[in-house]
């Protein structure tokens, strides 16, 4: 009886525990650089969803350019039709399948970020100090739509603080 029980127990064990393994789906690896191309162009903040306090004569604009696996984002304000530089953001695709970014502001200071696409239309990231993922300053999420995108910002604990939309103008 002992010989019969061992193969039976092993068979039941394999059926029960391998069923869950077989049911798992494989995750398709997203092509991060290809997906980032949807960000290339000129984007203008839409005043219809702004929770940022800008005056009515001020519009924020982002110009996004691609250079191989690197992306350059130049941000400025149009104030009464005149450009006022705000920041420059360099994003580069890294070996760990994420983008690393360095932003410097015209008023002084800098911040670094780590981000990646979690779906074909959504990129999530964290603003950190000196690329250290343990020093989260803020979290963000960008969702792409046809000719627009929405940016949501969160505290390190995940509480939403701001949301705004940009419209692609070029």
CATH superfamily of 32-168: Calycin beta-barrel core domain (2.40.128.20)
The neighbouring-strand residues paired with 42 are: 63
pLDDT of 76-115, one tens digit each? 999 888 999 999 999 999 999 999 999 999 999 999 999 9
Q: List, run by run, the mean pLDDT of 10-residue segments along the chain (170 residues).
A: 52 47 65 97 78 71 97 94 94 97 96 98 97 96 96 96 93
Determine the pLDDT at residue 90. Answer: 97
Q: Do 138 and 123 form a contact (C-beta atoms < 8 A)?
A: no
Q: Which long-range contacts (CB under 8 A, 24 or more apart) does 54-57 make?
A: none
Of 78, 84, 20, 61, nearest to 169 by C-alpha is: 61
Write down the pLDDT at residue 56: 74
CA distance 151 to 162: 8
Domain residue ranges in the chain: 32-168
Strand partners, 24: none
DSSP E strands, the chain: 41-45, 58-67, 70-79, 82-93, 99-105, 110-119, 122-129, 132-145, 148-154, 160-168
């Amino acid at each position: 009886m002992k010989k019969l029980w061992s193969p039976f127990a092993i068979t039941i064990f394999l059926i029960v525990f391998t069923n869950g393994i077989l049911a798992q789906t494989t995750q398709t690896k997203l092509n991060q650089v290809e997906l980032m191309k949807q960000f290339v162009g000129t984007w203008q903040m839409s005043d219809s969803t702004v929770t940022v306090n800008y005056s009515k004569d001020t519009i924020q604009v982002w110009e996004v350019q691609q250079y191989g696996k690197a992306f350059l984002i130049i941000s400025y304000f149009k104030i009464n039709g005149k450009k006022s530089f705000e920041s420059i953001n360099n994003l580069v695709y890294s070996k760990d399948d994420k983008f690393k970014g360095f932003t410097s502001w015209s008023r002084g200071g800098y911040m670094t970020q780590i981000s990646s696409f979690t779906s074909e239309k959504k990129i999530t990231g964290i603003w950190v100090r000196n690329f250290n993922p343990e020093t989260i300053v803020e979290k963000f999420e960008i969702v792409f739509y046809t000719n627009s995108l929405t940016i949501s910002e969160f505290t390190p604990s995940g509480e939403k603080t701001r949301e705004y939309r940009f419209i692609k103008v070029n």
